[in-house]
Amino acid sequence: MGNQFSYAQRTLRLAVESFKDHQIVSRDDIGGRWAIARRDADGRIRGDYYTEIISLHRGRLFVGGDIDDCTFGYYSSGKDEDPRKLHRDKVRWIGETNDIPYYVRQKAAIGMTDGYRLTTEYDAATARQQIQERIDCAKDDENLRNIYQDALDYTDSSEALQEYFSDHPDIREAFGDVTSSRVIFAWAACNRLCLLFKEDAV
């Protein structure tokens, strides 16, 4: 778990750092559409990490721009809510959640209907750590321990590891799977917008 945590923390720190100076540069609070970006000293909008956050129909939330697009689904709310509150609450639904590995990734997988293909990445260090944990737990099973020990030679890629374990169908774990940077950066953009909401009274 240690490496998975380290990978997530590294990516999260990078994402939060990338958005820490962003301001709202375009907004439609009634329609639920915002753009956030950094500005140069002369006030010009910078294009790096320029991000649009859009409240879509049927409880979906789109985040994209100079980051990989991500759609979260599905936010539910009262039908008679004020549109401005509804759209902001939808952003807070993602941006104020701290459970990125499970909750945020799950909502991204639902919103993009991708079966976790776009919301999950492979991290070799995480795979090695997870397999080492299995080796340590298999002290009384020499055969199982040897299977896991040999697996360490195939952790350079997800494909190689999957091919290795295809010869051992009783082992069905997905080693090395971590939340994709796509999801983490989209969350960080929403999180930054939530902080900006608190700064204004609009």
Parse the chain into domains and list their residue ranges. 2-120+180-199, 124-175
pLDDT at 9: 84
Residue 28 has pLDDT above 60, yes or no: yes
What is the rounded average pLDDT of the residues 54-62? Answer: 95
Nearest to 39 by CA among 18, 55, 21: 21
Alpha helices in 113-180 (DSSP H): 124-137, 142-151, 158-165
Q: What is the mean pLDDT of the chain?
A: 91
Least confident of 19-23, 77-81, 117-121, 179-183: 77-81
pLDDT at 5: 55
pTM (predicted TM-score): 0.86
Q: Which of 64 and 9 is assigned the larger pLDDT? A: 64
What's the residue count for the chain? 202
Question: For residues 87 and 129, what is the distance between their CA atoms, to the nearest angstrom?
Answer: 41
Confidence of residue 7 (pLDDT cuts 50, 70, 90): confident
**Which position has the token pair 């100079």?**
66
Residues 131-156 have pLDDT tens digits of 999 999 888 888 899 999 999 999 99
Question: For residues 190 and 24, what is the distance between their CA atoms, to the nearest angstrom?
Answer: 12
Nearest to 179 by CA among 54, 40, 4, 1: 4
Question: For residues 96 and 35, what is the distance between their CA atoms, to the nearest angstrom?
Answer: 18
**CA dihedral sign of residues 103, 172, 175, 122:** negative
pLDDT at 2: 46
